[in-house]
Structure 1
Amino acid sequence: MEKDLYTPVVEKLNELNIGFEIVEHEPALTTEQADSFIEGIEGVRTKTMFLTNKKKTQYYLLVMDDKKRLDMEKFKELTNANRIRMASSDSLYDKMLLPPGVVSPFGLLNNKDKDILVYIDNEITTEQRMSFHPNTNEKTIFIKTTDLMLFIESIGYQVNIIDL
């Protein structure tokens, strides 16, 4: 039996009095599939990427519009990092207990070391709501952008807004 990583998300949001909407669906394996399950519901579709440097001494969580391509060079420049790449599924599991395809800011709840830097692309910060997998690919959560920032900060992370 897989550990329930979804319930702590709901509990934390309730504790912070943050409203959200949940859509349940079959497991989504791609962003296209995930989007098809939530068609017509208002909220920017995001993709969250878990990145690391070559030596795996620093980790980055980046949230951006799922239609946008990540310009890795620009990200490196903006974060003063070098040799950044997608983190392995092993690193993802070690740091956030998540399988690939379920990465979201809610995974930060599972990061015991609090050693992940959080970045959000400025382009989506003006959106009213965002959507994520709340630590499971069988649900999509919609949350106000301002509440997402509040959630991230309440669990001990700083939100860095960057212009990708």
Structure 2
Amino acid sequence: MPKTPDQLFAFLDGLGIAVKTVTHPPLFTVADSQALRGEIAGGHTKNLFLKDKKDNYFLLTVEENAEVDLKQIHHVIGAASRVSFGKPDRLLELLGVTPGAVTAFGIVNDTAGAVKIIFDEALMRHDIVNAHPLTNDATTSIAREDLLRFVEATGHQPLVLKLSA
């Protein structure tokens, strides 16, 4: 069973990580997010759940307006081939979220370590990073260093690479 937002917040609290969460109507796209979230300081995320031909999975977390060249990104992230979007059933199985709610926080549900999480260096220039807390009806603000510490606490090694143009 995937973790709930409350279980995510309890996990973060157990790590001594303070976050601030704002609820809002469900957001499905970056455009929705920009129009409805209100004023929330920090970098806002867009997430790409990708796979290569060998069924290696990747979660790329970039700034909401970032452009990622999907024809070339496999060279940067170490994929075995060009990448495509992962199927919604695998997204739910591995990260416990559905399309429209993809988030770096979903890595908490990847207990098998099947997904490689990579943050764009441009996003990580922000002191505060904003992401959905496993559902798309809220935005959680977390300090950049705490986000990386959270990912490590899930048993994953976060990478920070130049993903966007």
Residue number in structure 2 paired with 1:83? 82
Residue number in structure 2 paired with 1:140? 139
TM-score w.r.t. length of structure 1: 0.92
Q: Report the residue type matching 1:148 in the other structure.
A: L
Q: Report the residue type matching 2:60 in the other structure.
A: L
Cα offsets for 1:40-71 (capped at 9, x unmatched): 22111111111111242x10011101101111
Give the aligned CA root-mean-square deviation in angstroms. Answer: 1.6
Give secondary structure in 2 for the equivalent of 1:95: helix
Aligned to 2:72, which of 71, 74, 89?
Answer: 74
Residue number in structure 2 paired with 1:41? 40
Aligned length: 162
Q: Report the residue type matching 1:62 in the other structure.
A: L
Q: Report the residue type matching 1:87 in the other structure.
A: G
Which sections of structure 1, spanning at least 5 residues, go unmatched?
A: none
Alpha-carbon separation, structure 1, partners of 2:78 and 2:95? 24
1:86-105 aligned at under 5 Å gives the runs 86-105=85-104
Cα offsets for 1:123-159 (capped at 9, x unmatched): 1111111111100111110111111001001110001
Q: 1:8 to 1:49 in 2, by over 3 A?
A: same
Alpha-carbon separation, structure 2, partners of 1:24 and 1:4? 18
Identity score, percent: 27
Q: Is the 8 A contact 1:35 1:45 kept in 2?
A: no
1:1-164 aligned at under 5 Å gives the runs 5-56=4-55, 58-81=56-79, 82-164=81-163
Alpha-carbon separation, structure 2, partners of 1:79 and 1:40? 32
TM-score w.r.t. length of structure 2: 0.91
Which ranges of 4 or more aligned residues in structure 1 deviate by more than 4 Å? Answer: none
Q: Is the 8 A contact 2:94 2:110 kept in 1?
A: yes
Which sections of structure 2, spanning at least 5 residues, go unmatched?
A: none
Alpha-carbon separation, structure 1, partners of 2:137 and 2:129? 17
Alpha-carbon shift at residue 72 of structure 1 (Å): 1.7
Give secondary structure in 2 for the equivalent of 1:135: coil
Alpha-carbon shift at residue 36 of structure 1 (Å): 2.6
